[in-house]
Amino acid sequence: MIQLILILAFGVLCLSSLYFLARRSPRAEGGSGPLVEARQAVLALRSGLLPPDLVARIFAREDLEYVQSEVPDNVRALFIDERKKIALSWVNQVRRQILCLRRFYLGSARSYARLSFKTEVELALDFAALLFACRAVLYIRGPFAVPGMVETTAAAATRVCNVYEKSLAFLTPAQLGTLADRSAGPARP
């Protein structure tokens, strides 16, 4: 019976993956698109999303402590709700930019002949775990429960940004404009 369930589950998985394959665009996410997106993602992360002051402010525990001690329950509930929305919005934006960087990484990796199987699997799992855990922990435990995680995530994302920034340093603003015109999809803000 277990064997049957496993084979049926595998068959369903195969057929559903074909459905997603059928829906995808025939073009690879290659060319200048991911390059431009990666460059813009690095800029967005650096200037708008990852500065330590901003991160500390969004997830500041002192704000919660102040509200808990000074204001009525309904205001406190409203504050927590609003702060959670802001935190989720921040996480979603960081997540989106990290996905852009991952696309760029995969575009570089797929043409690299000496790719290491072990490293690729580890990186794929790390990316997946990170993207999933950021969201899951925030949803389950709220924005104030995990300040350390957010700081570390932001610091690590900053390190990743530094690397990508060096890799993409050859792209001057003029080249960036030309590539953005050439890329098929609309450039991300």
Partner 1 sequence: MLTLAIWWACILAEALVLFRAFPGRLLRRYPFFYTYAASVLVSDVFLFAVYVLNPVSYAAWCWRAEFFNILLGCGIILEIFKHVLSRYPGAERLARITGVAVFSAIFCFVLLYPMVTGASRAGAAFAELEKYVALERDVLVAQAILFFAVLAVISYYRTAMGRNAKGMILGYGVWLGASVMTLALRYYIGRRFTHAWNVIQPLAYFTSLLIWAVSLWSYEPSPAFDEPALPEMDHEAVMATTRSAMEAMRSHLTKVVRA
Q: Which residues bind partner 1 (CB under 8 A)?
A: 1, 3-4, 7-8, 10-15, 17-18, 20-22, 24, 26-32, 35, 103, 105-106, 108-115, 117, 119-120, 122-124, 126-127, 129-130, 133, 137, 146, 148-149, 152-153, 156-157, 159-160, 162-164, 166-167, 170-171, 175, 179, 182
Q: How far is the CB of 70 from partner 1 (least distance, A)?
A: 28
Cβ proximity to partner 1: between 6 and 78 the closer is: 6
Q: Judging by beta carbons within 10 Å of its beta carbon (0-12, 13-18, 19+), is residue 1 exposed, middle or buried?
A: exposed
| Backbone φ, ψ for residue 168 (5° rounding) | -100, 10
Cβ count within 10 A of residue 188: 13
Render 88-154 in DSSP notation, one character per residue. HHHHHHHHHHHHHHHHHHHHHHTT-TT--HHHHHHHHHHHHHHHHHHHHHHHHH-TTT-HHHHHHHH
User: Nearer to partner 1 by C-beta: 76 or 175?
Assistant: 175
- Nearest to partner 1 of 72, 159 (CB atom): 159
CA 179, chain centre distance (Å): 23
Nearer to partner 1, 15 or 174 (CB): 15
The minimum distance between CB 76 and partner 1, in angstroms, equals: 24
Minimum distance of partner 1 from residue 124's CB (angstroms): 7
Of 77 and 116, nearer to partner 1 (C-beta) is 116
User: Are the C-beta atoms of residues 35 and 165 closer than 8 Å to each other?
Assistant: no
Closest contact distance (angstroms) between CB of 161 and partner 1 is: 9
Closest CA to 168 of 119, 101, 112: 101
Q: Residue 5's Cα: distance from chain center in Å?
A: 35
Shortest Å, Cβ 19 to partner 1? 9
- Tell me how far apart the alpha carbons of residues 181 and 116 are, in angstroms, rounded to a whole number: 34
User: Least distance in Å: CB of 88 to partner 1?
Assistant: 17
Nearer to partner 1, 75 or 124 (CB): 124
